[in-house]
Chains A and B, each alone.
Chain A
Amino acid sequence: MDEIFGIPAPLLFGQLLLGLINGAFYALLSLGLAVIFGMLNVINFTHGAQFMLGAFVAWMLLNWLGIGYWGALILAPLIVGAFGIILERLMIARLYKLDHLYGLLLTFGLGLIIEGLARNEFGSSGLPYRIPAELTGAWDLGFMFMPIYRGWVVIVAIVMCLATWLVIEKTKIGSYLRAATENPALVQAFGINVPRMMTLTYGAGVALAAFAGVLAAPIYSVNPQMGSNLIIIVFAVVVIGGMGSILGSVVTGFGLGVIEGLTKVFYPEASSTVIFVVMAIVLLARPAGLFGRA
């Protein structure tokens, strides 16, 4: 059998594929963060908690109302997005004029509170959530077992990333948003309600996090700390991609998923560190990130 660096080639391809799948989660989460930072200039540290809320709302819909995975995929992002809108109106909107640091501290605190409340209510070990019947099982690709659900995650994530990019780059609303980021006063002078646009953007970013949460519920355990485990990596992805760059966060998300996947084969102990090593190198070479504008 052919080997690459002492690893059988089929095994390596399998790992690359898995890396892409993990990358899909990073891309989806960092996408929401990038949208919020790009438009609102807020570093949304509540993102992890909102990802976790997505998974919890999916569980509540199933167990309290009997609404299954497919319904949750649409409803949970709407519910959590609405919650995000309330947060933005009541608290975050008051900080736009201040330094980034205040927004960061506020959202970080909110994240801790939400996580703590969830732990108090549901305990720490988590709740069961099953893969929907239509997506259970696995394909035998010859070189590895590929669970159908993981394939679904990649496809949905790519579609979602593309859709978000299209909305922001190619539609009229997107052009308003981009204009408002550059010069809010001028856009407001044209009769566009900028504060409302900001609110909706925050809601959409939060909804993206919740959407990723629902996608994650069947494969990772639904527990209060599921978001905080992931959020640090996702922040690194956003920084590497260039703060606020949509394309940057998507490409970096998938790319880092692959790099992390390869590290898990050659030196698993370093698999969580490798992302930060990449981040340090990128920041040294290009302080604005790979796709960021300096």
Chain B
Amino acid sequence: MLTERRTLLTGGAALAALPAIPMARAQANTLRIGVLTDISGTYRDPTGPGSVSCTEQAVAEFQGRGLNVEVLRADHQNRPDVGANIARQWFDQGVDAIVDVPTSSVALAINQIAREKNKVFLNSGAATSDLTGPACSPNTVHWTYDTYMLAKSTGGALTRSGGDSWFFITADYAFGHALQRDATSFIEAAGGRVAGSVRYPFPATTDFSSFMVQAQASRAKVLGLCNAGTDTLNTIKQAREFGLTSRMKIAGLLLSMAEVHTLGLDTAQGLVLTEPFYWNANDRTRAFTTRVRPRLSNGWPPTQIQAGCYAVTLHYLKAVADMGVAAAKASGTDAVARMKAMPTDDDAFGAGMIRPDGRKIHPTYLWEVKSPRESSGPWDYYKLAATTPAEEAFRPMAQGGCPLVRS
């Protein structure tokens, strides 16, 4: 018996040791990408497991070009300390790039660590425009959107169409403040004014009725929402309940497909919002959606952030293939520099480029939510209201205060 067990144990040990040898050899030319995202919190639906699936899609499409790529995933729980720990551990274990990272406070932490360790940070989910402003880094690419671009597109469009007085309901933290600040500058530049604003405690607020009455009393024409996710849902639901929608226009500055889906077209119809990617925008986005959808566990079409994870990973892989795996692994700065030097092109965002400050630029679209009658089927939610060309959609480099581009 004893010998038997011992044989078994040695056998087991040998088995365990077996994959270690090819692993060690593979390390040298295997690229490791970690998707760091919100798997268990409020931002799970627009990011989360879908961001992982979209990253894997990019890797799958790149197969057969001599690259070994391994995709890892982790949940940062929307906490900078948790996110920073995972990132340090990953980078020390040979991860070359971190993808996604929704929640601005976490993203700012990862931005710093990637620079310190000379790795690559491919951001899709975080909104703060500081990532390509004062906090910009030669190791970071900011792909999908940012607070400046959202405020300019949605805020500018509503002000121009007659919404010249605004009342803001703002989540009381860095992201909400940045969004309100950026939106205010566009409103004032377009000749509008801010009639009032309230900052509510984040995240502990579910009832917005008091703010609805204050907004109504301000007699402003537009209700600007500087919040995200569930908070935005609750505000819109309650604005409708309090009859605000018949007197004011609602501007959800960070409103996306996940919220529209939850509200239902009945409630969401007529809202305007900004997204650079919508699955049903054109033939290329539809083709991408068809390819990736079987991978998405909730059955949704990809969201803009998830599509961003796909596109930024694809472009990173192209750059790596171009410069060689060894060189890309050796220096994150070099890999990002190569990404900036190459024009981008993918099915989700079309052709574009990455600026020296790390900002990816592409056209942005202002969408209006369809009424239930206009919608031809499930997930047919938007009609196009306006397009901002790539060069005008984002903050000009000179105004961002990015130390990399100061002459």
Binding site for B on A (CB under 8 A): 8, 11, 14-15, 18-19, 21-22, 116, 119, 123-128, 130-131, 138, 144-145, 147, 149-150, 219-221, 223, 225-226, 229-230, 232-233, 261, 264-265, 268-273
Contacts and interface: CB of A to CB of B under 8 A. Distances in A.
13 contacts: A18-B213, A123-B45, A125-B44, A126-B262, A138-B241, A149-B241, A219-B238, A223-B233, A229-B203, A265-B214, A268-B198, A268-B200, A269-B199
Interface of B: 40-46, 48, 172, 198-201, 203-207, 209-211, 213-214, 216-217, 229-230, 233-234, 237-238, 241-243, 258-259, 261-264, 266-267, 298
Given A22-B207, A125-B261, A230-B206, A131 B201 contact: no
Contact of A138 (B207, B242, B258, B259): B242
A265 B210 contact: yes
A215 B264 CA distance: 20
Contacts of A226: 206
B204 A229 contact: yes
A294 B8 CA distance: 66
B263 A144 contact: no
Q: Please indicate which of the listed interface residues A261, A265, A271 has the most CB atoms of chain B within 10 Å of its own CB.
A: A271
Contact of B264 (A128, A225, A264): A128
Contact of B42 (A15, A127, A225, A271): A225
Given A124-B41, A125-B46, A125-B230, A150 B203 contact: no
Given A119-B40, A125-B262, A221-B237, A272 B230 contact: no
A150 B198 CA distance: 22
B40 A223 contact: no
B200 A271 contact: yes
A48 B172 CA distance: 24
A220 B41 CA distance: 18
Nearest to A136: B241
Contacts of B201: 268-273
Given A130-B266, A147-B242, A223-B42, 4 more contacts: A126-B262, A230-B206, A265-B214, A268-B200
Given A18-B210, A131-B241, A221 B262 contact: yes
A126 B213 contact: no
Contacts of A11: 213-214, 217
Contacts of B262: 125-128, 221
Contacts of A273: 201
A126 B41 CA distance: 12
A220 B243 contact: no
B193 to A, nearest CB: 21
Given A126-B262, A128-B263, A268-B198, A220 B213 contact: no
B23 to A, nearest CB: 32
Given A221-B233, A268-B198, A269-B199, A124 B206 contact: no
A-B pairs, 3 with minimum CB distance: A264-B210, A124-B44, A272-B201
Nearest to A14: B213
A271 B267 contact: no
Contacts of B213: 11, 14-15, 18, 144-145
Contacts of A264: 198, 200, 210-211, 214
Contacts of B241: 131, 138, 147, 149-150, 219
A65 B358 CA distance: 51
A124 B216 contact: no
B170 to A, nearest CB: 10
Given A11-B213, A268-B211, A225 B198 contact: no
A134 B61 CA distance: 53
Contacts of A125: 42, 44-46, 229-230, 233, 258-259, 261-262
A145 B264 CA distance: 24
A247 to B, nearest CB: 24
B43 A124 contact: yes
B267 A124 contact: no
Contacts of B200: 264, 268-269, 271
A34 B61 CA distance: 58
Contacts of B205: 229, 271-272
A24 B237 CA distance: 19
A85 to B, nearest CB: 28
B242 A268 contact: no
A116 B214 CA distance: 36
A94 B198 CA distance: 48
A290 B205 CA distance: 25
A225 B38 CA distance: 14
A192 to B, nearest CB: 41
A147 B242 CA distance: 6
Contact of B204 (A219, A223, A272): A272
Choose among A21, A116, A126, A149 the residue with the greatest number of B CB atoms under 10 Å from its CB.
Answer: A126
A18 B209 contact: yes
A272 B201 CA distance: 6
Q: Which of B42, B199, B259 has its CB near the most chain A CB atoms (within 10 A)?
A: B42
B42 to A, nearest CB: 5
B144 to A, nearest CB: 18
Contacts of A221: 230, 233-234, 237, 262
B230 A223 contact: yes
A268 B199 contact: yes
A111 B314 CA distance: 40
Given A138-B242, A145-B242, A220 B237 contact: yes
A265 B215 CA distance: 11
A221 B232 CA distance: 10
B206 A123 contact: no
A229 B204 CA distance: 6
A271 B206 CA distance: 11
B45 to A, nearest CB: 4
B204 A232 contact: yes
A8 B217 contact: yes
Contacts of A149: 241
